[in-house]
Structure 1
Amino acid sequence: MKDAQTQPDPAVRADALLVARGVSKNFGKTQALTDAALTLRPGEVVGLLGANGAGKSTLSRIVSGHIQPSGGEIAFDGRPLALSSTRDALRQGIALVAQETSLAPDLSVLENIFLPDLATPGRLSFRAMRRRANELLSGLGHEHVLPLDAEVRTLSAAQRQLVEIAKALALDARLVIFDEPTASLSATEVDRLFDIMARLRDGGHALGFVSHRLEEVFAITDRVTILREGQVVAEDVATGTLSQGDIIQHMVGRDIGAIYAARRAPPEAAADTVFEVRNLRAAPWVQDMSFSVRRGEILGLGGLVGAGRSEAMEAIWGLRPRQGGEILVRGEPARLRKPADAVRAGLGFVAEDRRAQNIVPDLSVRENLMIAQMGQHRGFGRGYGKRADKVASLIADLGLPPDRLDQSLLNYSGGMQQKIIIARWLLTEPDILILDEPTKGVDIGTRSSIYRLLQDAADRGLAVIVISSDFEELLGISERVVVVSDGVTIADLPVARLTEEKLTLLAAPRTSTARNQALLRALVEVHGGDAFWALLDGEETICLAQAGDRLAGMVPGEAALAEETAIPEAIRARGPDFTADGDRRTLLTQMTDKRGHDLGWIGVTLPAASDPPDPDAIRRRIATLTDPAEEVST
């Protein structure tokens, strides 16, 4: 039933570009949509929300011509809309930008932007196409980001998304639906995508936005429509009138409480280190990674996409060759040359790609659930009976009807598939469980249940390592976070010392911070002493980079209170001039981006006996970091 208070005013639809009402869709005996609705207007971003299996992607694909509805009415620009293909939708000016892009990897960026034109008769002018591509990218504010002659296979996930958007605009799309576009993007890349979406909205485009991340919904949408079990339960509601709790209740039909349940980390003295990695190297992605996890602890492994975290876990698991490093399990060196060695050593591993790396599509739910423990079974048969009680308990925790265990796992939503995969490894009763992006592409209700599952397991003594690009998730579920950038361990810090902003700066690729580090070296060459780049939060500091004599007492990757450094007075004052601390003095200059986000402080610490340089001259030197692409200011 649709909630009465969440029905849109009919008068509000007068300026709508697209109106879908009563849309239904059957896939054989499966009813994906029964009574779905969506309204999109020029100059607005509308969030399309719902739990896994609610029908969001199905409705998006119907509107964009990928599939045909079983019933309902859809009007576009005031006229009935009947699409037989995606080409029909593109001709009408409707495009879908999906999480998995539909680009041709062996073609260039330019060819992909104009891919639909390549199939039309007549000669194409590549000079005109290049001029048009530059105009499109300039309009998006990214004309210098995409090399038009590069093959798409060489691009990052964020760059591929940008090509997909440019392709839609090349067809003069007036309506663009973004279906989970941020799932593979870092926080910085998401911010840039939202800049593009804001430009499109301000340019009069109608935008739909499908996402499981509620913080993104509040950041970019003007209105939301929420589906539950194929029906609309909140249609065209102003985002500002809803709280996160309101949206969750609409999505799952109940209050699931706090997403991240508070738990106490095991005391240092009471918990043994059960797993340790020292100086791991697995070229080209993993250069020098070290971390450890204790019994009963949830350790977060944070970093951006491409930082080398997943590759490090594959190397540990025996799926990728290692060129160096040491792995210790329960304090003893472990020779993990193949996955079977890791399983016997007490490790479990939930890989990132659910369909390609975790699911055996021809097997049932029961068989997928039991496949890992069969590797531990010795003797005749399958050994199912030995774990019958454990299976029954896990099935109850998952909320899975026991009479559906013999159905195909592919019949279930992505969220339920993920919970079954995690349960598969819990059945083996490992000492260490590694999970790579465990909540990628799952709804808020499923995320909450997965977190509780992991926290309960950790409370029973399991050591858990969670790899995630979602920094809110890392801070919510972990007790400690190890930050990785460009295959190197950058920092190992308790979550109490971290925020999402701090994690973002710590995780920045070393290539993107090269100019900052070059500036530090240049400042030391000119003035001597010490130069550093640090995050300052009250009296807490985290050093990002440093050059010179370490007069300030800052060590890259380490956190310290002001009193634990050599410049406590300067950290407290942060004044426009040099501040004295005993036999040294320090000038601190803050950097912020165009949104006012803190990008850290550049510090110069010199011996008190030296002649102080002009603070304004140093600030001007720091201002040279300003770059149009980064839009940094001091």
Structure 2
Amino acid sequence: MSKAFAGIKALNNVQLELREGEIHALMGENGAGKSTLMKILAGVYEKDEGTILLHNEDTGQLETVEMKSPLMAQNLGISMVFQEQNLLENMSVAENIFIGREPLTKMGFLDKDKLYSNATKELGKIELEIKPDAQLQGLSTGQMQSIEIAKALSFQARVVIFDEPTASLSEKESQILFDIINNLKKQGVCIVYISHRMEEVFQLSDRITVFRNGQYVDTKYTKDVSEAELIHMMIGREIEQVQANSQVERGSKDKTPIFEIRNVRAFPTSKPISFKLYEREILGFFGLVGAGRTELMRKIFGIDAIEEGEIYIKGKRIEMASPGSAINNGIGLIPEDRKELGLIQQMSIKDNMLISKIGQFKSGWLKTNELKDITGNYITDLGIVLRDENQEVKELSGGNQQKVVISKWLAMQPDILIMDEPTR
């Protein structure tokens, strides 16, 4: 299977074999082509070259099929649960499951009783205790993802594709998802599981296929491969052990923190948060979905107002009135949602990389050679796969778009870089 976007090969003659009743993990670095292949199987993208063979239950033979639309793929038993959920929050659970396929009465009106009955049946397959007439507003991320799964199963799915399914789930919600996946496996459904999380892959999968730079590397039984071998397959080299810098003595009286917040609330009703960050230090923030990690970072970066509390940079109190204030004070933010907050999709790769750096050109003149050096270095260092730096960033794969977001802030050379779910 091969696929190119704007002349750039996202997939180059890759292959994948799936079996009934197995959990098959698909792994690779960002931009390896994993999601691209799955979107071809799900009918979202059309392939450029290659063949899709599907087992015909009537003849018992593999037959060539075409996936020209998501509906065509779903009718053939292939459904995909996307990272970005495709549900309508102003509609009920049942309406979302059967949208476009609602049962009608003989008079042509919506048959609500049958709709709710059918939805209850699909929800029961995954043991989701939620009323079919419930509105989506107010449901948790995990519940909405389960509704997506019920929707996939309503097409009598033989293959269900999960693309980074636990990225926005709490630990409890993730475990519920794993139980659902294992139950689907017992029912003979094939699961394709895309993830960067090694522990999940080794816990769930039967086999693992690895892509690298749009090419097929290998397929292994999970029990026969170690984590180190898998990493080597993904990146093509041995990974070096990096020792964290331990020279900073946290809380030392003779050290001035480079950044400090005092009594800032992520939500109006949450407890105030205070912390200090020192030079050369990596400070991790951990919490369940909805705990306030992203909300706090948005306030630090000036996207949302700080109702109370104080921010200090190098001992000086700073009013963070806007993202511009944050940038001027040496703070960068790689946001959780790159499409909405990280990139301007209609702009070129080059312009997206340099947009945060424009204020540093005091004379107002931009030196072409200097700019090409900046963009060229990051394109090389981060391995961004592209046709040229002038193509629109929306033409890149999700993984390569994320590398452009990272490049944008590295080019600014910030003193403080906030990374919110950077591997998503």
Residues 282/322 of structure 1: CA separation in 2 closer, same or farther (3 Å cut): farther
Mapped contact 1:283–1:323 kept (Cα < 8 A) = no
- The corresponding residue for 2:246 is 264
Structure 1 residue 394 displacement after superposition: 5.2
Structure 1 letter corresponding to 2:117: R
Q: Please point out which of 16, 23, 26 is paired with 1:38.
A: 16
Could you tell me the TM-score, scaled by structure 1's length? Answer: 0.60
Residues 219/427 of structure 1: CA separation in 2 closer, same or farther (3 Å cut): same
Structure 2 unaligned blocks of 5 or more? 56-60
Whether 1:357 and 2:341 are equivalent positions in the alignment is yes
- The corresponding residue for 1:74 is 52
- The corresponding residue for 2:32 is 54
Mapped contact 1:285–1:311 kept (Cα < 8 A) = no
Alignment of 1:114-263 (within 5 A): 114-118=98-102, 122-143=108-129, 146-235=130-219, 237-258=220-241, 261-263=243-245
- Alpha-carbon distance in structure 2 between the residues aligned to 1:229 and 1:59: 13
Residues 54/394 of structure 1: CA separation in 2 closer, same or farther (3 Å cut): closer
Cα RMSD (Å) of the superposition?
2.9
- The corresponding residue for 1:531 is none
Report how many aligned residue pairs link the two structures. 414
Mapped contact 2:22–2:191 kept (Cα < 8 A) = yes
Residues 404/95 of structure 1: CA separation in 2 closer, same or farther (3 Å cut): closer
Whether 1:63 and 2:41 are equivalent positions in the alignment is yes
- Alpha-carbon distance in structure 1 between the residues aligned to 2:50 and 2:103: 33
Structure 1 residue 47 displacement after superposition: 1.1
Identity %: 39
- Give the match's secondary structure for 2:417: strand
Mapped contact 1:282–1:324 kept (Cα < 8 A) = no
Q: Report the structure, 1 or 2, having the larger strand content.
A: 1
- The corresponding residue for 1:541 is none
- Residues 259-298 of structure 1: per-residue CA shift (max 9 Å, x gap): x544325123364212111111364575522222112211
- The corresponding residue for 1:24 is 2
Mapped contact 1:364–1:405 kept (Cα < 8 A) = yes
Mapped contact 2:301–2:323 kept (Cα < 8 A) = yes
Residues 396/85 of structure 1: CA separation in 2 closer, same or farther (3 Å cut): closer
Structure 1 residue 197 displacement after superposition: 0.1
- Alpha-carbon distance in structure 2 between the residues aligned to 1:402 and 1:136: 42
- Alpha-carbon distance in structure 2 between the residues aligned to 1:148 and 1:284: 33
Q: Please point out which of 293, 302, 323 is paired with 1:309.
A: 293
- Alpha-carbon distance in structure 2 between the residues aligned to 1:56 and 1:113: 26
Alignment of 1:327-346 (within 5 A): 327-346=311-330
Structure 1 residue 96 displacement after superposition: 1.3
Higher-Rg member (1/2)? 1
Alignment of 1:379-528 (within 5 A): 379-382=363-366, 397-399=381-383, 404-440=388-424
Structure 1 residue 221 displacement after superposition: 0.7
Residues 389/80 of structure 1: CA separation in 2 closer, same or farther (3 Å cut): closer
Q: Which has the higher contact order (CA 8 A, sep 6+)?
A: 2
- Alpha-carbon distance in structure 2 between the residues aligned to 1:346 and 1:436: 17
Whether 1:374 and 2:362 are equivalent positions in the alignment is no
- Give the match's secondary structure for 2:277: strand
Structure 1 residue 411 displacement after superposition: 4.6
Mapped contact 2:356–2:412 kept (Cα < 8 A) = yes
Mapped contact 1:48–1:56 kept (Cα < 8 A) = yes
Mapped contact 1:178–1:208 kept (Cα < 8 A) = yes
